[in-house]
């Protein structure tokens, strides 16, 4: 089983998005020595393949020289772990020199845009759209692979058609992200999307996807369908992420995930101490996350989707319960809605094709419309 290490070179960010919970003014920037220590630590930590994602804050604040040193250190120093690399950035600080470097390592880029300019800038701040698109052009000149996360909020959900059409017309693949209540925020609920709205949005996007199957990819719908098909989660939200995902903050502190970076109660150790997996398992945050896992086993035991939902994201659950294990991911309602819809439609499709196999008629000249099964089988 592969594991995932998120490298957070800083929590600083030049943008100031209304609903962001992962940036912090005045945050220090990671020194390259932390990357050296990370390589030394991971060399004998585990033997499975590793994926590194540079995340933030805004990771490009670390600058070209940092990446020029960090990328060979990670890929050569940990060659036996077959490291894969990824980067999540708003692209504002991308230079042609950096883009060439990222191309050399074939690093896929995830960026963020919430839809058409006016809507995006209302949520993310004036000038955001233009700066991100400028970086996007630089990335495209170097033929880098870029996909966009679209954060849907209680405001932007009203414009879901405009947002979907914007992605479709611009040829952007979509990964959607529901705005969440934040553990750090003073008004945690202000932008957050209700579970009911999120569930309806997923069904809307499922329908749109089936209508435009060859024109766009909606990654969440892909993973939801695939998870339901193989009956196992295929992204961190729908598996027991604890112990297979870590994040390293600017000072080398180790956390269970980038979402917890900067929160002292969630420090599991430091890369400079080269902790073993057993050391991390004994840390207070890991005990809390394992408590969440046990809670899910009990609380979700009657749910049809437990095998491929696993109670959702523990951060989302802890964010609304003051860091105590009291509930599952508050998006449970949305997950139930979409898993129910996917399984219902897939069953109907299977019954229909079985009936045809028994002598039902179909016109072979007629091109069939994509189905749930088409999505389920997409990456096979
Ligand atoms: S805490 Fe949530 S976002 Fe982080 S790895 Fe786990 S499921 Fe994913
Ligand atoms: S859908 Fe809800 S009840 Fe079912 S496993 Fe997920 S979180 Fe638990």
Per residue, the 3-state secondary structure of the chain, as one string, reads CCEEEEECCCCCCCCCCCCCCCCCCCCCCCCHHHHHHHHHHHHCCCCCCEEEEECCCCHHHHCHHHHHHHHHHHHHHCHHHCCEEEEECCCCCCCHHHHHHHHHCCCCEEEECCCCHHHHHHHHCCCHHHHHHHHHHHHHHCCCCEEEEEEECCCHHHHHHHHHHHHHHHCCCEEEEECCCCCCCCCCCCCCCCHHHHHHHHHHHHHHHHHCCCCCCEHHHHHHHHHHHHCCCCCHHHCCCECCEEEECCCCEEECCHHHCCCHHHCCEEHHHCCCHHHHHCCHHHHHHHHHHHHHHHHCCCCCCHHHHCCCCHHHHHHCCCCCCCCCCCCHHHHHHHHHHHHHHHHHHHHHHHHHHCCCCCCCCCCCCCCHHHHHCCCC
Q: Is 334 in the pocket of ligand 2 (CB under 6 A)?
A: no
User: 310 C-alpha to center of ligand 2: Å?
Assistant: 7
What's the token pair of residue 165? 């059409």
Q: Is the pLDDT of residue 342 over 90?
A: yes
pLDDT for residue 2: 87
Asked whether the beta carbons of 247 and 258 are under 8 A apart, the reply is yes
- The single residue listed with the structure tokens 């109907």 is 348
Decide the pairing of beta strands 50-54 and 84-88: parallel
Residues with CB under 6 A from ligand 1: 236-237, 241, 245, 257, 259, 313-315
What integer best gives the mean pLDDT of the chain?
A: 91
User: 29 C-alpha to center of ligand 2: Å?
Assistant: 38
Mean pLDDT, range 18-42, rounded to an integer: 83
Give the model confidence (pLDDT) of 163-208 as tens digits: 999 999 999 999 999 987 655 555 656 788 899 999 999 999 999 9
Rounded distance, CA 223 to CA 375, Å? Answer: 9
Of the candidates 267, 244, 243, which has an alpha carbon nearest to the alpha carbon of residue 255?
267
Asked whether the beta carbons of 289 and 297 are under 8 A apart, the reply is no
Size of the chain, expressed as the number of residues it contains = 380
Mean pLDDT, range 64-90, rounded to an integer: 97
Asked whether the beta carbons of 28 and 251 are under 8 A apart, the reply is yes
Asked whether the beta carbons of 11 and 56 are under 8 A apart, the reply is yes
Asked whether the beta carbons of 238 and 230 are under 8 A apart, the reply is no
Best of 3, 175, 245 for a ligand 1 pocket test (most atoms within 8 Å of beta carbon): 245
Q: Is the pLDDT of residue 125 over 90?
A: no
Rounded distance, CA 268 to CA 274, Å? Answer: 12
pLDDT band at 23 (very low <50, low <70, confident <90, very high): low
Percent pLDDT > 70 in the chain is: 91
Q: Is the pLDDT of residue 31 over 90?
A: yes
Residue nearest to atom 4 of ligand 2 (CA): 303
User: 101 C-alpha to center of ligand 1: Å?
Assistant: 29
- The DSSP bridge partners found for residue 51 are 4, 84
pLDDT for residue 322: 85
Q: Report which ligand 1 atom has the smallest distance to the Cα of 257.
A: 4
pLDDT for residue 180: 77
Measure CA 169 to chain center.
23
Residue nearest to atom 5 of ligand 2 (CA): 306
Give the model confidence (pLDDT) of 256-301 as tens digits: 999 999 999 999 999 999 999 999 999 999 999 999 999 999 999 9
Angle between helices 160-170 and 195-211 (to 10 degrees): 40
């Amino acid at each position: 089983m592969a594991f995932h290490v998120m490298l957070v070179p800083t929590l600083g960010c030049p943008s100031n998005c209304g609903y962001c919970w992962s940036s912090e003014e005045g945050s220090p920037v990671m020194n390259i020595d932390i990357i050296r220590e990370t390589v030394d630590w991971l060399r004998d930590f585990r033997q499975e393949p590793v994926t590194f994602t540079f995340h933030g804050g805004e990771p490009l604040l670390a600058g070209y020289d940092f990446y020029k040193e960090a990328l060979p250190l990670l890929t050569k120093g940990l060659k036996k772990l077959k490291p894969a690399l990824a980067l999540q950035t708003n692209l504002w600080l991308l230079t042609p020199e950096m883009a060439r470097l990222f191309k050399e390592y074939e690093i896929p880029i995830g960026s963020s845009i919430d839809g058409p300019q006016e809507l995006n800038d209302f949520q993310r701040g004036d000038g955001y759209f233009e700066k991100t698109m400028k970086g996007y052009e630089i990335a495209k000149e170097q033929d880098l692979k870029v996909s966009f996360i679209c954060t849907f909020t209680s405001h932007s959900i009203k414009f879901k058609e405009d947002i979907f059409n914007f992605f479709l017309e611009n040829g952007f693949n979509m990964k959607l992200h529901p705005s969440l209540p934040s553990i750090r925020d003073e008004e945690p609920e202000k932008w957050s999307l209700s579970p009911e709205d999120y569930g309806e949005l997923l069904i809307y996007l499922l329908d749109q996807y089936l209508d435009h199957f060859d024109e766009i990819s909606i990654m969440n719908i892909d993973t939801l369908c695939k998870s339901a098909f193989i009956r196992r989660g295929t992204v961190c939200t729908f598996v027991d992420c604890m112990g297979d995902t870590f994040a390293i903050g600017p000072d080398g502190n180790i956390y269970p995930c980038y979402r917890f970076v900067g929160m002292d109660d969630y420090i599991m150790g430091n890369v400079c101490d080269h902790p073993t997996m057993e050391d991390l398992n004994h840390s207070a945050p890991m005990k809390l996350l394992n408590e969440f896992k046990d809670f899910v086993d009990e609380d979700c035991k009657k749910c049809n989707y437990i095998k491929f939902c696993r109670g959702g994201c523990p951060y989302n659950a802890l964010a609304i319960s003051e860091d105590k294990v009291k509930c599952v991911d508050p998006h449970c309602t949305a997950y139930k809605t979409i898993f129910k819809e996917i399984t219902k439609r897939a069953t109907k499709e299977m019954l229909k094709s079985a009936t045809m196999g028994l002598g039902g008629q179909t016109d072979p000249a007629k091109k069939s419309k994509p189905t749930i099964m088409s999505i389920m089988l997409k990456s096979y």
